[in-house]
Amino acid sequence: MPYQDPLTVVAPKTRWQLVQLICNTGQSGWSLAEGLWDKNEALALRWNGNDGPNETSGNPQSTGHPTWFIVPDELAANLRERGKKLKIFLEKIACHIEPFSPAESDRVFKVAIHTKDEELTELLDFYKATFPIPRLEGRLFRFIENSPEPYFVPSSDGDSCWNGRICDGKWEALVQSNGFPEERNPTTQPMLHDVLVASVANAIRAYADGTKS
**Per-residue pLDDT reduced to its tens digit, 109-155:** 999 999 999 988 888 888 888 999 998 999 999 888 877 677 888 87
Q: Is the pLDDT of residue 64 over 80?
A: yes
Pick from 196, 63, 208: which is nearest to 134 by CA?
Answer: 196
Given 89, 107, 124, the domain boundary residue is 89
CA distance 23 to 149: 33
- Each residue's pLDDT tens digit, 65-103: 899 999 999 999 999 999 999 999 999 999 999 998 776
Q: How high does pLDDT run on average in the chain?
A: 89
Sign of the Cα pseudo-torsion (192, 193, 197, 200, in order): positive
Within this chain, do residues 77 and 137 fall inside the same structural domain, yes or no? no
Pick from 9, 78, 70, 84: which is nearest to 40 by CA?
Answer: 70
Within this chain, do residues 118 and 45 fall inside the same structural domain, yes or no? no
Within this chain, do residues 16 and 100 fall inside the same structural domain, yes or no? no
Within this chain, do residues 110 and 144 fall inside the same structural domain, yes or no? yes
19 found inside a domain: yes
Given 89, 118, 148, the domain boundary residue is 89
Q: Are 56 and 64 in contact (CB under 8 A)?
A: no
Given 63, 89, 115, the domain boundary residue is 89
Confidence of residue 105 (pLDDT cuts 50, 70, 90): low
Within this chain, do residues 102 and 56 fall inside the same structural domain, yes or no? no
Within this chain, do residues 145 and 51 fall inside the same structural domain, yes or no? no
pLDDT at res. 211: 62
> Which whole-number Å values give the CA distances from 208 to 61, 105, 211, in the listed order?
34, 37, 8
pLDDT at res. 128: 84
Total number of domains in the chain: 2
pLDDT at res. 103: 65
Q: Give 158 or 16, the one with higher predicted confidence.
A: 16
pLDDT at res. 179: 83
CA distance 164 to 154: 9
Average pLDDT over every residue of 34-46: 96
Within this chain, do residues 77 and 175 fall inside the same structural domain, yes or no? no
174 found inside a domain: yes
Q: Are 163 and 208 in contact (CB under 8 A)?
A: no
Q: Is 64 left (phi over 0), alpha (psi -120 to 50) or beta?
A: left
Exposure of 123 by Cβ count < 10 A (0-12 exposed, 13-18 middle, 19+ buried)?
middle
59 found inside a domain: yes
213 found inside a domain: no
pLDDT at res. 104: 64
Counting residues of the chain whose pLDDT is more than 70, the rounded percentage is 94
Q: Is the pLDDT of residue 45 over 80?
A: yes
Within this chain, do residues 16 and 116 fall inside the same structural domain, yes or no? no
106 found inside a domain: yes
Within this chain, do residues 49 and 137 fall inside the same structural domain, yes or no? no
pLDDT at res. 1: 57
Query: Which domain covers residue 104, as residue numbers?
Result: 93-208
Within this chain, do residues 75 and 170 fall inside the same structural domain, yes or no? no
CA distance 190 to 96: 10
CA distance 88 to 84: 7
Within this chain, do residues 194 and 128 fall inside the same structural domain, yes or no? yes
Q: Are 202 and 164 in contact (CB under 8 A)?
A: no
Q: Are 48 and 26 in contact (CB under 8 A)?
A: yes
1 found inside a domain: no
